[in-house]
Structure 1
């Protein structure tokens, strides 16, 4: 697959398009409370259009952009062989942007109104079996700390093996929290790394999570997750944490809050070590816990609330219902089963 055009590095499209885009992103941030990840995605998608218009469309003003120009841009994206999912996201970003521009009288007509998005690819992440989860969360995970967060292994560190052992144990204990808590709570990876210690209610075994759209929800977790969290906080966190970490639950070897890339690397390494799954990232654990909840008889709306989905339709598309559970429900409910 070819590289997605105009997404990497700074772009040089003109202020004719850049200024209204900046105003729109500020509107999304201040008035709609969109997350940093959402703003970044909109920025990338709209910059892609702006760069195309400068390079291929004569660098028009916002009012000069026509539906034909937008269709030419879509043809360009199609020729670049980007995925249907990315294409649909780009179209959605542009349609929302021009709807905002029309409302604020920056354009006289909406050129994106008649743009049609391709059907999204509905490829669901691989679901781990319970036996795979058992191996993933076994004590052996502590023996293989994340390679992504191994910036501490310098020549100086090699001269201090005792210090290295303590650090390795701390990293292993932290990685255990990441894996155990992702499966216990179904959190998005960005939600996980944003957790503070104060967000944990040990008495009720719940997490206070700030999700998409700055919506707060309470998420339960089980005793196994509680055990590894307590062990991490009491015995290992202080080995890694500096003042920079403040109240962050998860910290990196440099002392600050663990970031999304590092946490993603922890799970990627752990999943790869299983050797018998195509799952490669933290989203697979989110999908797995949702599937296991449904297979265990959980109500779909309860799973929706658990995952923090705004729409039940999203949960229906996101979760996988096993054939065995479907057959069992049919036998129990259908009069002529």
Structure 2
């Protein structure tokens, strides 16, 4: 990685406050461009990069089997790098501005249908009531928590017990870009949180004074990998097909709010989206659901 690239990565980490995962992704994407150019330390001259060079890189990436969405993500990261170089006066222009993104199919967020999710919530609640060990109770609560709040995986991991208001009635979340928001905690989730806290005390889990809400059995803050394992394992055991990730539960939360008549800006606030554009995708899920209902119920619904 060249000095210019390292300076940019330090900028987005320390000044722009990008998440560690985003910085890691940008490092990988910019590194792949530099590898394609055959750049060695100290030999990179960004002013020599042309739009034709970038198009050759796109062809090479496509031939390697990368999806258009992945290539577009890499182009975006490298374009941001060159915007930084332009602001710093290192280059006279951004060659990425002359290159069009690849067309990608419009994909709707995956989510679990409302009827199925209601049954899952009942099963997870029963699982917590019947649990005789801390781990089983925690695993069920992780899935319930993600669905009931719609928070991101990174936000779930970062929650401290001190982030709640009195009696677990609300949760204060710091999301992307250090944007803060308040998420209400529904009564069912509050009840399960009290049970979970009692289990921590009963089993003497938190011996080190760790403030994290979700803990390992050794009393340490839970990891991303562990949350992925929990969600996938719980949803698989409950018979969920397709994608089974923490983000699917976030999509499910937002889609169910939209279908229930929630205002788009209210959903934006609950999700912590910086732009309304990011939230509008859930309107498409609602339209898709309406089409399915129409096709199944209307006497002319199955006609072309």
* Alignment TM-score, normalising by the size of structure 2: 0.85
Aligned to 1:8: none
- For residues 61 and 254 of structure 1, do their structure 2 counterparts lie closer, same or farther at Cα, with a shift above 3 Å needed? farther
Aligned to 2:122: 138
Aligned to 2:205: 240
C-alpha distance in 2 between matches for 1:277 and 1:29: 37
- Residue deviations 1:227-282 (CA, integer Å, cap 9, x gap): 11111112236543342x71000012343110111111111111112325223111
- For residues 55 and 142 of structure 1, do their structure 2 counterparts lie closer, same or farther at Cα, with a shift above 3 Å needed? farther
Aligned to 1:334: none
C-alpha distance in 2 between matches for 1:88 and 1:287: 22
User: Residue 256 of structure 1: which of 220, 228, 232 is its match?
Assistant: 220
Aligned to 1:268: 232
Q: Secondary structure at the match of 1:133?
A: helix
C-alpha distance in 2 between matches for 1:106 and 1:55: 17
Q: What is the root-mean-square deviation of aligned Cα atoms in Å?
A: 2.6
User: Residue 57 of structure 2: which of 59, 65, 73 is its match?
Assistant: 73
- Residue deviations 1:165-212 (CA, integer Å, cap 9, x gap): x9x710111112211111111011111111000011144711111111
8 Å CA contact 1:187, 1:286 repeated in 2: yes
User: Residue 179 of structure 2: which of 181, 199, 215 is its match?
Assistant: 215
Which is worse superposed, 123-132 or 213-222?
A: 123-132
Aligned to 2:300: none
C-alpha distance in 2 between matches for 1:142 and 1:46: 48
Aligned to 1:23: 7
Task: Tell me by how many angstroms 1:289 deviates.
Answer: 1.1
- For residues 47 and 242 of structure 1, do their structure 2 counterparts lie closer, same or farther at Cα, with a shift above 3 Å needed? farther
C-alpha distance in 2 between matches for 1:140 and 1:316: 30
C-alpha distance in 1 between matches for 2:198 and 2:125: 19
* Alignment TM-score, normalising by the size of structure 1: 0.78
Aligned to 2:101: 117
Q: Secondary structure at the match of 1:293?
A: helix
Q: Secondary structure at the match of 1:258?
A: coil
C-alpha distance in 1 between matches for 2:166 and 2:142: 17
C-alpha distance in 2 between matches for 1:289 and 1:192: 15
Mapping for residues 68-107 of structure 1, pairs under 5 Å: 68-107=52-91
Aligned to 1:317: 281
Q: Secondary structure at the match of 1:182?
A: helix
Aligned to 1:187: 151
1:127 and 2:91 aligned: no
- 4+ residue runs over 4 A deviation: 139-144, 322-328
8 Å CA contact 2:162, 2:211 repeated in 1: yes
C-alpha distance in 1 between matches for 2:44 and 2:144: 52
- Residue deviations 1:129-175 (CA, integer Å, cap 9, x gap): 2332233233567769xxxxxxxxxxxxxxxxxxxxx9x71011111
8 Å CA contact 1:88, 1:120 repeated in 2: no
Q: Secondary structure at the match of 1:106?
A: coil
- For residues 210 and 119 of structure 1, do their structure 2 counterparts lie closer, same or farther at Cα, with a shift above 3 Å needed? farther
Aligned to 2:192: 228
- Residue deviations 1:56-108 (CA, integer Å, cap 9, x gap): 9xx64223222222221111111112112111111111111101101102223
How many residues end up aligned between the 2 structures?
287
1:41 and 2:25 aligned: yes
8 Å CA contact 2:160, 2:212 repeated in 1: yes
Which is worse superposed, 32-41 or 124-133?
A: 124-133
C-alpha distance in 2 between matches for 1:325 and 1:299: 17
8 Å CA contact 1:132, 1:274 repeated in 2: no
